[in-house]
Structure 1
Amino acid sequence: MNGRAWEGVRKGITRADAGEVAERVLELDEAGRREVARELPGHIGPARTAQQRLTERRRDWDWQLTQAWIEPMRVAGAGTIGGAAAVASWLFRREFARWSPASDMEPLLKVIAARPAAWQADLAVRLALRLRGSRAQASDDSAALALELLRRTGTVPPDHEPLVAAWVALPPRLPDDPLAAHLLPRMFEAEGVGRALREDRIEPPRWEWEPQQSWLRTLRDLAASGVIDREMLADGCVRRFLRGGNAADLRFFVRLHELLDPAPNPARARDYLRLLPAAPGPVAEAALKQLRGSLVGDDAGEAVSALLFRPESKLVRAGLTWLDRLARDGDGDLDHLAPALASAFLCESYPIQERTVRLAVRHAGRFTPVGAEAVREAATVLPADLLARLSEAYGHVEPEAGLDDGFLPVALPEFKPPVHEPDPFEQWLDKFVRDAPAAGGRRTGLAAVRGAVMAALNRPRSRLDAERTWSSVDLWAEVLMREAAHPGERAEAPREHLPKPRTVAAPYRMMLERCAEILAGLRDGTLPPYLLASPTTAAGQVEAGELVARLEGYERAGAVALPADLQQALLRLPRVVPAEVAERAGRLTSEAGATLVRWLADRPEPRLRVVWRGQRPQVVVHLERTGLDLVDALLGRVASTRLGQSMEDWHRVLPSDREALAMHLLPHVHAAWERPTNFADVVSAMLHLEGPAGEAVGALLAALLGEREWYMPAERAERLLLEAAATGCLPAERCGHHLGLTLRAGQIKSAAVRSSLESCARQGAQREVWEIMTGLLTSYLPTGDERGTTAHTRILAFALDVARWAGAHGAVGVVTQLAERPRSSALVRAARVLDDHLTARKSRQAS
């Protein structure tokens, strides 16, 4: 045909018209089909490119249009390529992958229908065997095409499990589907069917505008009308149960079995009995429904034993009811039921244990000495109150040993104070002030200033950019260098460039203020000969005698103290000052000396609380004003979490005020992007400072213990808690209080808290962990009308372990209140056991 055959088909492909391509293909003779089949592989790339260009020229871009060329190409190949195997490969080439299947398969089916019948059957089987149940299959028409070809050709479906799963994944076409006779029995055997039908329901969800036909409803109705054999379906469900699987994959078959409601069938009784011990709960419930009242003798005993071995309370209760009936209706001893009672004793549900004890006591006279001994041996796992009730009928039973879980007390690990390197910032400031007036512009000791700061200084800046840049200590250092080298060259007003007080953390602002006042003193000619606040210890403190000597030198030189420098020096004083040093300070005559004397006589102490607003703790602080603005800012208020630079150096700003430093660190716990990667080291340094450790330190440690991120793994947070305990600065009860509030806020699971606290207790902090638990229980346990959860019950059980480890005694108010509630829930029982232990009270009888 000299290319005319291909030209006609190519035009149809270019127009993305699968119907036109089908018509052209059906008009071809054998030579024309061979010509088209020969040209098709090489046309994949041009066809895709042409369609993309066509789509790009449209104003209303549509991703579906970019793939419109695929279906005409598939149709052309299905009608012209010779072998069925080659066509099967062509239809699902990787280049033909789409986001969704074609909206109309008729052109494809039309050209396939023109091929010989044996060829069509061969293609149908090949397409069916290609199914794999993959994600890609969900976005193509492979399943629908294979099933439709099998129906139209009348071909027997191959034995292929993904084919069965694909069949049930589509809406049912029963009873007219010719495939049903072959595939319906297989749906109970093929893997993937339960997964495909997990969400199938009798009634469609309310949100479905056009609900699909339900397989459950279809099979139920057809079984009710006799079109499908009900017994065949019931047998299929039981066979599927016996094959095993998880509850989700068996959900459809459990629902179908319930809808069929098969009559008791002795032929299936043994199969149902096999399901009781280990099948998923819903399957076991379905089996129990079929067996209840139909078993006698050994089979009934086997069923009871299986039920009492289950973990589900509902099934265990059913087993106990059955056991009670067997005991009442039977003759002779009940020794054969002792193992079943032992299984029920192991149930974690207290009501189940209590019911089992009542049943055992009721029938105690029916056990021989051998059977009674078996009951006593099994009962050692029971709670103390239930054990006492059982002992009245069976004789004294010793509780199970090993309640301390093998706990061995050890000493707390030792923690050495961190090795502090000399503070480069302080060294730089001290050297600059001492050398700048006499240096004539020499940049002594300033080589560490970054080159990037120079660029930032020289470029034009907007007001916002300037505010950010002037929050850099490096920039202030560069400005100081410029001023020393070229006095008066630039006329920036230092304090105008300082960031606003609440936009930067107070410890860092102190560093900026000191730079600003040094710059002002350099310009005004009032720079003192040296600084008062230069640390004398690596930890950042200034020895009191050294500060007095420095002020004495100021008075001899007629120098005036810089305000920020003086206030920083006061904050760096140790909390204990020798009497002779205080006496020397009293002889100072300058205003700075008088300020020092007042500080030594009445060092300011902030009073703070940490309150929870929403899901985050916030600090509320009260401080009697001192008239020292920077001191008042550092000890009396907390800035926003913005701009927390140089956090690693904050401990040098507040080396004698541990609680105040914790107050400034706390907001950054919940803003991880604002804190350094070595934040744990910052907290560790804080623990070795002077000053009280109270609410803020406790809240900070609790917040870190509640984190579960890569930058604060549980082991690191636990290490900080142990370090606080070892250094004697762990406010344990307040830490527990905030840990309980963290749990209430849902920021961490109680299991994670228990794990971390147990780890600390086993490393020597059992007493501290018990103190933490007293605070945690008080803030976490339900009060008033609040309802308890299993998490509360488990926390109480853990608290009992910790109390034993720590040898703790003395009532905890919230626990006692729970224990006195009239109801006997699992939570109340756990509270009673803990309260009894703490108050040395004999075990109460369950209400």
Structure 2
Amino acid sequence: MTRTEELPRKATEPEVLLAAVREGRRDDVPGLLEALGPAGRKAALGELKALRKELRGWGWERWTERRSVSRALLVAGAGCHTGAAAAAAWIGARDLRDWERLPCGMLLDLLADRGPEWLGDVAHRLAGRAATAEEDYPLIAGLVRASGCPVPVTDGFVHGWADAVASGGILAALRTDPHTRVLVPRLFATAEPAATLTWRDEDWQAALVALAAEGAVDREELVDACVARLLRGGRPGGHRFFLALLRRLELTPAEERARTADWMGMAADATSTVAGHAQDVLARLAGAGDLSARELAEMSASVLFRTEKKLVRAQLVLLGKALRRGGPDTAAQLLPAVAEAFGHEDSEVRERALKLVGRHLPAVGEGTRTELAEAAALLGPAHRAAAAELFGGALPPATWEAGPYEELLPPAPRPQRVAPSAGSLPELVEDLAALLVSDDDVIGVERALDGLVRFAHQDGDALREALLPLATGLWWYKRDTDLMRHLGPLDTVVGAVVGKVTTGHLYAALRAQPVHSCVHQALDRVLRARVREAALSVLKGPVPFLLATPTWHTGALDAGELVERLTAYRRLGVRPGEADFAQALLRVRRSGPGAAEAAGAAAGLGTPEGERLAEWLSSPEPVAPALRTVAGAEDPDGDGHPSWGRALLRRVVRAPRAHRVIERDFPPAFHWLGGARMATDTNCYHWGGWEAHWTAVLPEDRETLAAWLLPIATSAADDLRGGARALTQLVEAGGEAGPALHLALATGLGARHGEDRLAAVDALLVLAARGELDAGLLGRDLAELVRLGTVKPNRLADSVRTAAATGAYATTWAVLGSALPGLFPGGEPVRGLGEILGVAADCVERCGAAPHATPHATGAAGTATMSTAAMSTGAAGTGTSAPGAAAARDGMDGRDGMEAVHALAARRGSSQLVSQAKRLVKALANTSAHETDHATTELVENSH
């Protein structure tokens, strides 16, 4: 006898169905639903909805029970819903499936009695759910078969269909599938390509080519779909399948000619591989006379603007062939397009373009000559003489010839004062409503924490009444267990105000022993300890305000302001919280104007905290003094292949010693920061990024933070994104800009991803603008990282080229001039050095043209500038700006560095490495000669 047969006569009532669902008996649900009938199902639906809402409040301790109940609930609700939209929403709900696949056979049998129109409606609604349509393909396909409705064409359904086709022989499956002709074109239109097109790409390509040959799919439609997909853009990897398929389709000359505009669009904007294919097709069309000079000029103007040198050089070759075949009219149309390359970042490209223009210049009229001469103003100093010989008096002056060289640096960032906490309860609640959704705004969180404490001190009941409507809508409000593990900073204090977080919760969390596997957990614990302390004060007797609320946007705290806060505490007879006062000490500025006076005022308070603050302000000892020691790179594995993550740490951390004040006087949550510990160990899982609130823990000790950041910066040179984003915060923070910060910056300049390299370039320019860049140290670190393989030369070249293009040619050359001697290990250049030499030559040609210009404090639009002469008077690393071209040249590490460059320039050949070395040597020689002539003139003038 089954469990259903054991039930009494009223077994068909909704309560019995609900009992089966609560017990997780999914297999019994279809039979119970059949016995209920339409009226019973409608009556049971309300109870099922209530149960679903109840499940959302169950904690993780009931995970197994919730899983079985959800599975039964999904089937029961699907059978009870009468509307197609509601049924589809219920079946597609994530909270009911618990990441399991749907019981397709059971659901199809359960819904078999519904009408075809209803089933088709549900199928299309499920196919329209982007999050679940792919995994729900079997159910959707079954509903389509049962209803006879048109097949859905959404991305998720198409991906699911493609996976199902690829589960066996693709060609055979496509031949027999009734939806092949409809769904194959949709494979080219989805936002992202189906995964199966990547891992079974050759099988799919062979099948589609065969179907096109058989006429099962329209060949013209297939070609158009490929072309449209390649034109659409996207990630480079997403184009590989479609480009390979297009090549296998072997377009005829007529098919290629009919799509000339498409090839031109690809050559201009598509990824490098796709653009290269389009360029090859256009070259064939041009050779056959099927591409007009106007069309060639139009597409050349776009291609020559690209950064890929291979494409640009190939385009110049194509233009040269067209110019040789054509006459004066062709030259008049094509040479202005060639001149677009005069502004290219690569000097060899500029040189080739200038030679090509010079070869065909006699064929054009005066108007075109004038246009070309004006474009030649984009050429750098290296090609200026050749351009002047070519155009003569028609050549206008270049922008860099207009006056003495001026270094363009961004304005040095100034600390921004933090606004006071919210002045009213409505303003505080409004701030909290935004911050509780996203707490990335570190200063906003600090202001809100201070506001909560202030209003709790003024009128705790009014604060609770104001926060209750906000708190009741938060996820944790109706949860009773495991709260403290998941609450954020503001949630913790708000929870204490509204009574959800108790003193028991907080005492237990504060008493828990800290277990840190890395610095990131230690920094997180500092924030949690301070927040829990603030929440406890709200419950037991609130302090009037927090001591550690920052004064400046970096997280730093003004020493005089901290003294004023301690004075107010003494007047009110309030003892500061241990964690809050400890964080205030770590944030307070211990240098600069007012620090000494603040120390004296703190000592005069006559309180223990005042004495500790006075002692702290008078001590120059950093938080982690051992991180100041820099050792040479080592081979920790002893096999000649250093593990660079550990090599980085060994270079910065050596024989660490503890900070006794922190270990003795600070709360336990802070002890890790002062202990004799390395930056991390192998258990750390934070290598994907750097949280903003970590920097705010030690905003006046960026060197310590930089040393702890090094493993993350190293990950940026590998494959992870975001490792260099913290550099922008660090360079704006306070404290020494020492070897750890420069090493982290050097690693960021070689990051794999472009956005990380941009962040590192920004940090480099900010350090230079603040006069804190040690160009020699940074250059030597870069050279070592290149030799070790951590930084790839092409990535470094991209970073320094970007830095120079902002107008910081002298700063960039100062760094490269110090790096170059180390890029010749064993006397031979590292692979890929040619690009770096090209950037170095560009910098010297630009900033070495007028080395004794008059210094300027500010430039256009408020941009900080400085002449080469002014920078040449300073030494890097001493708080002055980076040296200019002459100083950097003289600062190259000994004769060996320059001799290696000269030896390279003396080699035969026209490779990029040799030609760029020749450019650099020539530029340095020209700068030296200019300085000598200028010095002689000064001596003659002074003798009079």
TM-score range, shorter-chain basis? Answer: 0.5 to 0.7
After superposition, the C-alpha distances for 1:315-336 in whole angstroms (9 at most, x for unaligned) are 3333223322322222345212
Counterpart CA distance in 2 for 1:398 and 1:775 is 35
Q: Which amino acid aligns with 2:86?
A: A
Would you say 1:284 and 2:275 are equivalent positions?
Answer: yes
- Per the alignment, residue 821 of structure 2 pairs with 778
Aligned partner of 2:243 in structure 1 is: 254
Could you tell me which residue of structure 2 aligns to residue 330 of structure 1?
A: 326
Q: C-alpha distance in 1, partners of 2:55/2:373?
A: 83
* CA deviation after TM superposition for structure 1 residue 233, in Å: 0.8
1:195 Cα deviation (Å)? Answer: 1.4
Residues 1:52 and 1:9: Cα distance change in structure 2 (over 3 Å) = farther
CA contact (8 A) 2:844 2:923 kept: no
Whole-angstrom distance in 2 between the partners of 1:72 and 1:10: 10
Give the equivalent residue in structure 1 for 2:374: 377
Query: How far apart are the structure 2 equivalents of 1:116 and 1:761?
Result: 71
Aligned partners of 2:335 and 2:357 also within 8 Å: no
Paired letter, 1:71: R
Using the alignment, how far apart are the partners of 2:337 and 2:739 within structure 1? 46
Deviations 1:500-539 (A, max 9, x none): xxxxxxxxxxxxxxxxxxxxxxxxxxxxxxxxxxxxxxx9
The amino acid across from 1:121 in the alignment is: G
CA distance in 2, matches of 1:819, 1:77: 81
Change (3 A) 1:29 1:249: same
* Alpha-carbon distance in structure 2 between the residues aligned to 1:249 and 1:339: 35
> Structure 1 pair 93/242, CA: closer, same or farther in 2 (3 Å)?
closer
Retained in 1: the 8 A contact 2:187–2:194? no
TM-aligned CA distance change 1:802 to 1:359, over 3 Å: closer
In structure 1, what is the equivalent of residue 110 of structure 2? 111
2:136, 2:40 → 1: CA distance? 27
Alignment check: 8 A CA contact 1:707 1:714 kept? no
List aligned pairs for 1:787-806, cutoff 5 A. Answer: 787-789=831-833, 790-791=835-836, 793-795=838-840, 797-798=842-843, 803=848, 804=851, 805-806=868-869
Is 1:232 matched up with 2:221? yes
Letter in 2 for 1:68: S
Q: How many angstroms apart in 1 are the aligned matches of 2:81 and 2:37?
A: 13
Counterparts in 2 of 1:202 and 1:221: CA distance versus 1, 3 Å: farther
Deviations 1:128-150 (A, max 9, x none): 34x1x24xx37x84455334422
8 A contact 1:194–1:251 mirrored in 2 = no
Letter in 2 for 1:76: A
Q: Relative to structure 1, is the Cα distance of residues 816 and 370 closer, same or farther in structure 2, using a 3 angstrom cutoff?
A: farther
- Correspondence list, 1:480-495, <5 A: none
Instruction: Name the SS for the 2:192 alignment partner.
Output: helix
Which residue does 1:402 correspond to in 2? 400
Deviations, residues 425-461 of structure 1 (Å, cap 9, x unaligned): xxxxxxxxxxxxxxxxxxxxxxxxxxxxxxxxxxxxx
For 1:349, the equivalent position in structure 2 comes to: 346
Evaluate the alpha carbon distance shift between residue 43 and residue 301 of structure 1 in structure 2; reply closer, same or farther with a 3 A threshold.
closer
Alpha-carbon deviation of 1:96?
A: 0.9
CA contact (8 A) 1:121 1:150 kept: yes
**Greater RCO (CA < 8 Å, at least 6 residues apart):** 2
Larger displacement relative to structure 2 (304-313 or 389-398) = 389-398
Cα distance in 2, alignment partners of residues 645 and 757 from structure 1: 42
Aligned to 1:197: 194
Aligned to 2:923: 837
Distance 2:10 2:829 in 1: 90
Q: 2:655 aligns with which of 623, 640, 648?
A: 640
Structure 1 residues 28 and 744, CA gap change in structure 2 (3 angstroms): same
Once residues 719 and 282 of structure 1 are traced to their aligned partners in structure 2, the CA distance between those partners, rounded to angstroms, is: 39
Indicate the residue corresponding to 2:317 in structure 1: 321
CA contact (8 A) 2:319 2:338 kept: no
Q: Give the AA of the match of 2:821.
A: T
RMSD: 5.4
CA shift for structure 1 position 618: 8.2
Match of 1:613 in 2: 634
Letter in 2 for 1:640: A
Superposition deviation, residue 250 in structure 1: 4.7
TM-score of the pair, normalised by structure 2: 0.49
Matched, 1:78 2:74: no
Secondary structure of 1:195's aligned partner? coil
Amino acid at match of 1:262: L
Which among 148, 153, 168 is matched to residue 147 of structure 2? 153
Structure 1 letter corresponding to 2:248: L
Q: For residue 32 of structure 1, report the CA deviation from its aligned partner.
A: 5.1
Q: Is the Cα–Cα contact under 8 Å of residues 104 and 138 in structure 2 kept in the other structure?
A: no
Deviates more, 1:329-338 or 1:608-617: 608-617
Unaligned runs of 5+ in 1: 57-62, 205-212, 414-538, 541-607, 621-637, 648-664, 684-698, 725-729
Q: What are the Cα deviations for residues 405-443 of structure 1, in whole angstroms up to 9, with x where unaligned? A: 951699xx9xxxxxxxxxxxxxxxxxxxxxxxxxxxxxx
Distance 2:185 2:12 in 1: 51
Q: Tell me the CA shift for residue 47 of structure 1.
A: 8.4
Larger radius of gyration: 1
Q: Does the 8 Å contact 2:41/2:80 carry over to 1?
A: yes
Could you tell me whether the CA contact under 8 Å between 1:143 and 1:163 is conserved in 2? yes
Partner deviation per Cα, 1:163-205 (whole Å, 9 max, x = no partner):
556655765553444444444444545xxx141437733746x
1:225/1:292 CA distance change after superposition, 3 Å? farther
User: What letter corresponds to residue 398 of structure 2 in structure 1?
Assistant: E
| Alpha-carbon contact 1:706-1:742 (below 8 Å) kept | no
Counterpart in the other structure of 2:260? 269
Distance of 2:349 and 2:659 partners within structure 1: 56
| 1:63-142 aligned within 5 A | 66-93=66-93, 95-102=95-102, 104-129=103-128, 131=129, 133-134=130-131, 137=132, 141-142=135-136
Distance 1:383 1:642 in 2: 53
Report Cα offsets for 1:773-798 as digits up to 9, x if no partner: 65443235664152234456435544
Residues 1:311 and 1:681: Cα distance change in structure 2 (over 3 Å)? closer
- Offset at 1:235? 1.5
Relative to the length of structure 1, the TM-score reads 0.54
Name stretches of at least 5 consecutive residues in structure 2 with no aligned partner. 1-8, 167-172, 413-594, 597-628, 636-646, 663-673, 681-693, 706-735, 749-758, 852-867, 873-885, 930-944
Contact 2:339 2:354 in 1 (8 A): no
Cα distance in 1 for partners of 2:342, 2:804 equals 27
Secondary structure of 1:642's counterpart equals coil
Checking the alignment, whether the CA contact within 8 Å between 1:342 and 1:378 is kept in structure 2 is: yes
Q: Is the contact between residue 800 and residue 812 of structure 2 (CA under 8 Å) also seen in structure 1?
A: no
SS state of the match for residue 613, structure 1? coil
Alignment of 1:421-820 (within 5 A): 611-613=632-634, 615=647, 640-645=655-660, 678-679=700-701, 701-707=738-744, 737=780, 740-741=783-784, 746=790, 774-780=817-823, 783-789=827-833, 790-791=835-836, 793-795=838-840, 797-798=842-843, 803=848, 804=851, 805-806=868-869, 808=886, 813=895, 814-820=897-903
- Cα distance in structure 2, aligned partners of 1:80 and 1:760: 66
Whether contact under 8 Å (1:124, 1:150) holds in the other structure is yes
Is the 2:703–2:741 Cα contact (8 Å) retained in structure 1? no
Give the total of aligned pairs: 564
Shift of 1:737: 4.3
TM-superposed deviation, 1:339:
1.2
Aligned to 1:21: 29
Question: 1:59-100 CA distances to partner (integer Å, 9 max, x unpaired)?
Answer: xxxx77752333332222333332323322332346414123
Amino acid at match of 1:834: L
Mapped to 1, the partners of 2:272 and 2:830 lie a distance apart of 31
Q: 1:338 deviation in Å? A: 1.5
How far does residue 704 in structure 1 lie from its aligned partner after superposition?
A: 3.8
Deviation of the 1:106 alpha carbon:
0.7
Secondary structure of the residue that 2:197 maps to in structure 1? coil
| Cα pair 2:812 2:843 within 8 Å, conserved | no
